[in-house]
Amino acid sequence: MGRNVLESSLLGAGFSIIFQILCRILTFGINAYIVRNVGREVLGIMNVRLLLLESTLLFLSREAINRAALSANSQQRDKCSWAQLINQMWLTVPICAALCAPCLYIWLHWLSAVDAPFSAQYEFACYAVALSCVLELVAESTVFVAQVFCFVKLKIVVNTLHILVRSAIFLWIVIDDRSAAISAFAIAQLASATTIVLGQFGFFLFYIKSFNEFKLHQQQVRKSKAAHVLNSWQRSLFDHMEDFPFTKLSQLLPGVLSSSNGGALFNRELQTLTLSFVKQGVLKQILTEGEKYVMSVSPVLSFGEQATYDVVNNLGSMAARFIFRPIEDSAYFYFTQTIARDTRLAKQPPERVRQASSVLNNLLLGVSSIGLLVFTFGQNYSHTLLLLYGGEDFVAGGLPQRLLQWHCLAIYLLSVNGISEGYMFATNTSRDIDKYNYLMAIFSISFLILSYILTGIFGPVGFIFANCINMLGRILYSTSYIWHQYQPLGLNPLQGLWPGKLFGGTLLLAGLICYMYRDAVFGTHMGVGLAAGILCLLAWALAHRELMHLAWKYGRRIKIE
Q: pLDDT band at residue 559, thresholds of 50, 70 and 90? A: very low
Model pLDDT for residues 260-316, shown as the tens digit of each residue: 555 678 888 888 888 878 877 787 787 778 888 888 877 667 787 788 888 888 777
Q: What is the pLDDT of residue 348?
A: 86
Tell whether the model's pLDDT for residue 188 goes beyond 50.
yes
CB 90 within 8 A of CB 145: no
Report, as an integer, the average pLDDT of 465-490. Answer: 91
Which sign, positive or negative, has the C-alpha torsion 321, 324, 330, 333?
negative
98-125, pLDDT tens digit by residue?
Answer: 999 999 999 999 888 888 889 999 999 9
Q: Hey, what long-range contacts does 513-516 have (CB within 8 A, 24 or more apart)?
A: 514/376, 514/377, 514/379, 514/380, 514/381, 515/379, 515/380
CA distance 419 to 368: 10
Residue 29: what residue type? G
- Per-residue pLDDT at 124: 97
* The total number of residues written for the chain in this structure: 561
The per-residue pLDDT for 267 is 80
Local structure of 300: helix, strand or coil: coil
Q: Please report which confidence band the pLDDT of residue 76 belongs to, taking 50, 70 and 90 as the band edges.
A: very low
Contacting residues for 493 by C-beta, under 8 A, at least 6 apart: 357, 358, 360, 361, 364, 482, 486
Q: Is the pLDDT reported for residue 4 higher than 80?
A: no
Q: Quick: pLDDT tens for 35-74.
A: 777 777 888 899 889 999 999 999 999 989 988 888 765 5
Report which of 375, 411, 315, 377 is spatially closest to residue 529, judged by C-alpha positions.
377
Specify the pLDDT at position 120.
Answer: 95
172 compared with 292, residue with greater pLDDT: 172
Of the chain, the percentage scoring pLDDT greater than 70 comes to: 85
28 or 381, higher pLDDT = 381
User: Residue 545 pLDDT more than 90?
Assistant: no
Contact in structure between 252 and 142 (CB atoms under 8 Å):
yes
Residue 235 or 324, more confident: 324
The domain spans of the chain are 5-206+262-498, 207-252, 499-561
End-to-end CA distance of the chain: 17
Does the structure show a pLDDT above 90 at 318?
no
Would the pLDDT of 26 be above 60?
A: yes
Which pLDDT belongs to residue 2?
A: 40
- As a whole number of angstroms, the distance between CA 140 and CA 246 comes to 16
**Interatomic CA distance for residues 99 and 293, integer angstroms:** 17
Output the pLDDT for position 325: 78
In DSSP notation, 13-47 reads HHHHHHHHHHHHHHHHHHHHHHHHHT-HHHHHIII
Residue 455 and residue 463 in contact, taking contact as beta carbons nearer than 8 Å: yes
Q: Which of 2-6, 228-232, 449-453 has the highest mean pLDDT?
A: 449-453
Mean pLDDT of 490-515: 91
Cα 196 from chain centre: 17
Is the pLDDT assigned to residue 553 strictly greater than 70?
A: no
Among the ranges 8-17, 99-108, 320-329, 404-413, which has the highest mean pLDDT value?
99-108
* pLDDT recorded at residue 433: 77
